Structure 1
Amino acid sequence: MAFASCLSAQLLFRRLSQPLLQQRGACARTMVLDRCFALELPDCTLAHFTLCTETRGSALGACQHSRLAAILGSPGRSYSLCVPVAPEDGYGARVRAAKLHQRLLHQLRRGPFQQCQLRRLLSYLPSGRPGSAQQGFLLRDPQDCLETRRALIELLGACKETPQPHLGEFETDQDGQVWKRLWKLQDGGWQEVGCALVMPTLEPPLHPILPDLPSSVVFPSRKAAKAVLEACTSFIPEAQEILDLVDQYPKQVQKGKFPVIAIEGLDATGKTTVTQSVSDSLKAALLKSPPSCVAQWRKIFDDEPTIIRRAFYSLGNYIVASEIAKESTQSPVVVDRYWHSTATYALATEISGGLQHLPPAHHPIYQWPKDLLKPDLVLLLTVSPEEREQRIAVRGMEKTKEEVELEANNIFRQKVEVSYQRMENPSCHVVDASPSREKVLQTVLGLIRNNCNNL
C-alpha cells in the first residue's frame, strides 16, 4: 500500500508540474460547477467563492479577487478536502460522513501536517437544499513541501469509506488568477477530473449550514434524534441501551399542576448551587439533564462527532421530560439544564465564523421542539468570563471538550451566550450570578414567584 501510495504521489507530482494554462481548458469542461464554498478565516469572517470554467469579470471587484489569491494562491500551496454525503441514504450517511470528518481532523493535526494551517471549509449548493452541505477543510502548506503532499495522498488513499473525500488543489497562473484542480482516486492512482477558475461570490443571507441543522444537531423532535442513534448501534453498543430506555417512555407527556423551572448557564456560573438552593427553598424535585440513567455514558458520547453527541443529549431531554411530568404532579420541579443548552452548544459548534453568522433573532431554529415538555420558566445564569475562569481554576473542575473550547475560543463562548439569549418559546431570563449566593438566590426566587403559579 505504501509503495502504491508513493507511486500515485509521484504521478500526481508529475501532472502538477505541467503548465496549468496548457490543461485548464480541457479539464474544466469535465467539472461539475454547481457548488459554492465558505472558508472560515482567522478573523472569524467567511470567504465565499465558487468555480467557473472560464475567465470572466466579477461584480465583487478586484479587492475580493486579490483576497482569495492571498488566501488560496502562492506562495505556499492550499488543498481542499470535503466529505461528501449522500442525502438519499438518510441519517446513516450523515453519521458516516461525520465520523470520517472527525477522523480526518485528528489526522490533519498530526505528523507532517503540523506545519500547515487548517481551516474549516463548507461546500454547499446555492439553492440551500437541506442535506446538500459538505463539511471539510482547507489545508494550507506555507512551504509547499513534497512531504505534505505525499502524506496527504497516503492519508486519503487509506480511506476505505465510500464515497471518498473530495481532494482539490489550488494554483495561481501567470495572470495571478487562482484555479482549482479536482482529483479522484481511480484504479489505484490519482486522476485529475477537473479544474476551474476560483471566483468570489456573494455571501448568502443566512449561513449555508442552517438548512441542515434540524436533521443534524438541533433536532426538532424525538424521532429525529432517535434516527441518529439508530445509525450508531453497530459501533456504539450504548446507543441501543439508550434507545431502549427512550422507548419505555410515552412519546407525549403532560406537565402536572406545579411549575417547572429550568436553570441554564455555562459551567462555573453557579448552577449547582442555585438549583440546590432553589429546590430546598421551594421543596421542589431536583432533576438534571442528561438524567442519571444515561449520564453514565456521557463521556462516550462526548468523544463522538457533534451529530451523535447532540442526539445523545437531545434524547436525554426527552427522558428527563417524563420524569418532570411525573414529579410536577406532586411538587415544583427544578431542572439543571434542559433543551436550551443542547441547542446553543450545537449552534455555536456548527455555525462557522463569528457572531454575525448566527441565525438572526426569531429564526425558527430557536423555537422549542413541539413534542418536548416545556418548562414554565427558564433562567440563564451569567458571570463575566474572568470570574468564570477563576471559579474553574479554584474548583479544579474536570473540563469537557466544550469547556476547553469555551476557554480557548472567546468567539465560541460569545456564540453560546448569544444563542441562549435568542431562544424563544420559552425565552431565557438572564440573571447576574456574580453577587453573593444569598443575593442571587433572592433574585432567582423573586423571578420564580413573579412568573409561576401554584407556589
Structure 2
Amino acid sequence: PALKSKMGPSERAYSLCISAQDRILKARLHAEYTAKFGSELSNCRVLALVSFCPGATDSLQKGFLIQDSGDAAASARTQLFLRALQGASEHVRFCTYERDEAGRVWQSLWAPEGQSEQVCKACIVPAPEPHIHPSVLNIKNSVVFYRYEDAYSVLQEVSSTVVKLKITNVQYTFCPLLKLKVHYNHVFIFNMIYSGKTTLTESLKDSLKATLLKSPPGCISQWRKIFDDEPAIIRRAFYALGNYISASDIAKESIKSFVIVDRYWHSTAAYAIATEVGSGVSSLPPCHHEVYQWPEDLLKPDLVLLLTVSPEERVRRLLGRGVEKTKEETELEANNMFRQKVEEVYRRMENPRCVIVDASPAKEEVLREVLLLIRKHCSNL
C-alpha cells in the first residue's frame, strides 16, 4: 500500500534483492550497495526493503526499494546504473514497478544479464501486517548470539573470505577460550547505558576493594574501530566473543576479589536488538521473547544495574562527557527514539533482569543506593 500511494502515474520504482547463500558475502554486498546508492542515486529515494515468510526463522532477506523522480532522462540513468550492478554480480536480482491506467502496480522481474525476455510479471496486492516486526525473524545468531560456537563460527567464515589481517588475527585470539558454566556467587555485573557510570564504578571499586573490568576487554579493544566499520553480523560477533573473554577474566579475578564489570551481554544484545528493529518501541519483540534470554553457556551475573537519568540531566552530562564514543553511542545521544528502544530492551531482559537505578540525584546518594542493592543481592559481600 505504501508503494502504491507514493508512486505517481509517471514514476517508476525498482527493488534490489541480494540472493547470496553466503551470509558474510550477503552482508558485505548489502553494505556496499548502501554506500553506492547514497552517492550514485541522489536523484532517487532509496528505502530499506525486506522480504520474509511470516513466522519462519531466518527467512528475512534485506534489500532496497528505489523510487525515481519520474523524469525520463533520470530514469534512464537509473536503469543503466542498476543494469551495471546486475551485470557485476550474480547475486543481485532486480524488479521494476510501474502503475497501469487502472491504478494497479505491477512488478516485473528483470531477466539475467544478456537475456532480453521478461522472467515474470505480477500485480502487487496488500498483505496483512505481521504481528511481530519481521526483523525479529533473523535476530538470533545474526546480530545476537546465544552460544560461543555460533559467534565464533562467524569469524571462521570471515577468515575464509580473505578479509583484513587484523580480523583474522582476532579470530585466533578466541581459539583457546572455554565455555564457562559455573556461577560465581561473589560476582556481579554493573551495566549502564548513560553518563555517570565512570564515577560510580570507580567509587564502587574503592568502597568494595573490587576489581573493575570492561567489555570488550583490553586484549581486543584496540580492534573495535575495525569491527565497528564491518557489517552487523561481523561486528556483533566480535562484541559477543568479547563477552566470553570477559567471562574468563571475571572467573579468574572473582577468586581474589569482588568484580565490577562495565558492560556485558545485556549491553551487547540491547544495542543489537534496538538497531535491528528499525521502527519505534512498539515494534520491539514482546516481553518474554527468547531474544531477551541470557545465553546458557555464558557466566551469569548476580546483579545487573541499569542507570537511568532524567532527560535534562542526561543532556547536561553528555555535554561534558568528552570521551570517545562508538557510532551507536553517538546515535544514542542524538536519537530519542533509539534511546527509548535501547532502554526498553534493557527493561525486558530476563534471567537475570536489570535492576533500575535512578542516577539523577547526587553521586553520593546514588552510591549509597547501589551499595545497598549489592549487599542485598550478593551473599558473599
- Give the TM-score range, shorter chain: over 0.9
Contact 1:73 1:170 in 2 (8 A): no
**Could you say which residue in structure 2 is the equivalent of 1:314?**
240
**Could you say which residue in structure 1 is the equivalent of 2:226?**
300
Could you tell me which of 352, 369, 374 is aligned with 1:448?
A: 374
Letter in 1 for 2:13: S
CA-CA distance at 1:394 after TM superposition:
2.5
Could you tell me which of 257, 266, 271 is aligned with 1:345?
A: 271
Per mean C-alpha deviation after superposition, the further-off stretch among 419-428 and 347-356 is: 347-356
**Could you say which residue in structure 2 is the equivalent of 1:32?**
none
How many Å separate the matches in 1 of 2:267 and 2:248? 18
Q: CA offsets per residue over residues 163-214 of structure 1, 9 Å max, x none?
A: 4222122211101111112214322x67532221111111122222323211
**Could you say which residue in structure 2 is the equivalent of 1:169?**
96
CA-CA distance at 1:218 after TM superposition:
0.8
Letter in 2 for 1:180: Q
SS of 1:392's equivalent in the other structure is helix
How many Å separate the matches in 2 of 1:161 and 1:278? 57
CA-CA distance at 1:149 after TM superposition:
4.5
How many Å separate the matches in 2 of 1:372 and 1:156? 47
Q: CA offsets per residue over residues 19-51 of structure 1, 9 Å max, x none?
A: xxxxxxxxxxxxxxxxxxxxxxxxxxxxxxxxx
TM-score (structure 2 length as normaliser): 0.92
**Could you say which residue in structure 2 is the equivalent of 1:290?**
216
Could you tell me which of 153, 157, 176 is aligned with 1:231?
A: 157
**Could you say which residue in structure 1 is the equivalent of 2:361?**
435
Q: Which runs of 5+ in 2 are unaligned?
A: none
SS of 1:232's equivalent in the other structure is helix
Could you tell me which of 108, 132, 136 is aligned with 1:181?
A: 108
Could you tell me which of 259, 280, 288 is aligned with 2:187?
A: 259
CA-CA distance at 1:85 after TM superposition:
4.0
CA-CA distance at 1:160 after TM superposition:
7.2
How many Å separate the matches in 2 of 1:148 and 1:376? 59
Letter in 2 for 1:165: V
Could you tell me which of 32, 44, 48 is aligned with 1:120?
A: 48
Q: CA offsets per residue over residues 279-313 of structure 1, 9 Å max, x none?
A: 11111110000000000000000011111110000
Q: CA offsets per residue over residues 197-239 of structure 1, 9 Å max, x none?
A: 1111111222223232112111110111011111112213223
Q: How does 1:21-100 map to 2 (within 5 A)?
A: 65=1, 67-74=2-9, 76-86=11-21, 93-100=22-29
Letter in 2 for 1:142: S
CA-CA distance at 1:118 after TM superposition:
2.3
CA 306–149 in structure 1, closer or farther in 2 if over 3 Å, else same = farther
Contact 2:151 2:241 in 1 (8 A): yes
Letter in 2 for 1:243: Q
Could you tell me which of 350, 355, 358 is aligned with 2:284?
A: 358
Q: CA offsets per residue over residues 38-81 of structure 1, 9 Å max, x none?
A: xxxxxxxxxxxxxxxxxxxxxxxxxxx5x542134545332211
How many Å separate the matches in 1 of 2:88 and 2:269? 30
CA 215–256 in structure 1, closer or farther in 2 if over 3 Å, else same = closer
Letter in 2 for 1:157: A
Could you tell me which of 324, 335, 346 is aligned with 1:398?
A: 324
How many Å separate the matches in 1 of 2:171 and 2:193? 28
CA 227–153 in structure 1, closer or farther in 2 if over 3 Å, else same = farther
How many Å separate the matches in 1 of 2:220 and 2:208? 27
Matched, 1:216 2:145: no
**Could you say which residue in structure 1 is the equivalent of 2:57?**
130
**Could you say which residue in structure 2 is the equivalent of 1:109?**
38
**Could you say which residue in structure 2 is the equivalent of 1:330?**
256
CA-CA distance at 1:159 after TM superposition:
5.9
**Could you say which residue in structure 1 is the equivalent of 2:122?**
196
TM-score (structure 1 length as normaliser): 0.78
CA 158–141 in structure 1, closer or farther in 2 if over 3 Å, else same = closer
SS of 1:115's equivalent in the other structure is coil
SS of 1:132's equivalent in the other structure is coil
**Could you say which residue in structure 2 is the equivalent of 1:240?**
168
SS of 1:79's equivalent in the other structure is strand
Q: CA offsets per residue over residues 357-402 of structure 1, 9 Å max, x none?
A: 1110000110000000000000011123443344333333334221
SS of 2:191's equivalent in the other structure is strand
SS of 2:119's equivalent in the other structure is strand
Q: Which runs of 5+ in 1 are unaligned?
A: 1-64, 87-92
What CA RMSD, in Å, does the superposition of the two structures yield over aligned residues? Answer: 2.1
Q: How does 1:5-20 map to 2 (within 5 A)?
A: none
How many Å separate the matches in 2 of 1:380 and 1:453? 20
How many Å separate the matches in 1 of 2:63 and 2:69? 19
Could you tell me which of 193, 200, 210 is aligned with 1:274?
A: 200
How many Å separate the matches in 2 of 1:444 and 1:406? 24
CA-CA distance at 1:354 after TM superposition:
1.9
CA 115–411 in structure 1, closer or farther in 2 if over 3 Å, else same = farther
SS of 2:190's equivalent in the other structure is strand
Contact 1:181 1:196 in 2 (8 A): yes
How many Å separate the matches in 2 of 1:393 and 1:114? 34
More strand by share: 1
CA 151–425 in structure 1, closer or farther in 2 if over 3 Å, else same = same
